Amino acid sequence: MEYKIKSRIWIEVDGEILLGEGRVSLLKAIEKTGSLSKASKSLGMSYKKAWSLIDAVNSRAKSPVCNTTIGGTKGGGTQITAYGKSLIEAYERINKNCWEFLDKQISEADLK
């Protein structure tokens, strides 16, 4: 069996995690569903965990990543801001580049 190289990347602010793989997939689920509770259900994650993740992201990002509304006909909801979308896009682009870079590195290392 061949050696494979894997990686996880994340963005930190002031020594604390801003954005990692889990948070990005949560943000994308929110973008798709328009709701934090629906997003957490779709990922098999508890609402509480999802809420605390989003809270952490919002409190550390330089600009808000999402806007929430409470009450109303549909009960409320959560929308990802344009800034949030730009963060998601940057994370995924860098992540993909990192994988490609590492695949090249491991093949050049030629470990037997």
Partner DNA sequence: TACCGTTATACCTCAGTAAATATAACGACT
Partner DNA sequence: AGTCGTTATATTTACTGAGGTATAACGGTA
Structure tokens at 67: 């806007």
51 binds DNA per the rule CB under 7 A: yes
Burial 37-69 (b: 16+ CB within 10 A, else e): bbbbeebebeeeebbebbeebbebbeeebbeee
Out of 17, 45, 102, 106, which residue is the one contacting DNA (CB under 7 A)?
Answer: 45
Q: Taking CB under 8 A as the criterion, which residues in 37-66 touch a second copy?
A: 62-63
Judged by the rule CB under 8 A, the positions of this chain that interact with a second copy are: 1-14, 18, 62-63, 86-87, 90, 93-94, 97-98, 101-102, 105-106, 109, 111-112
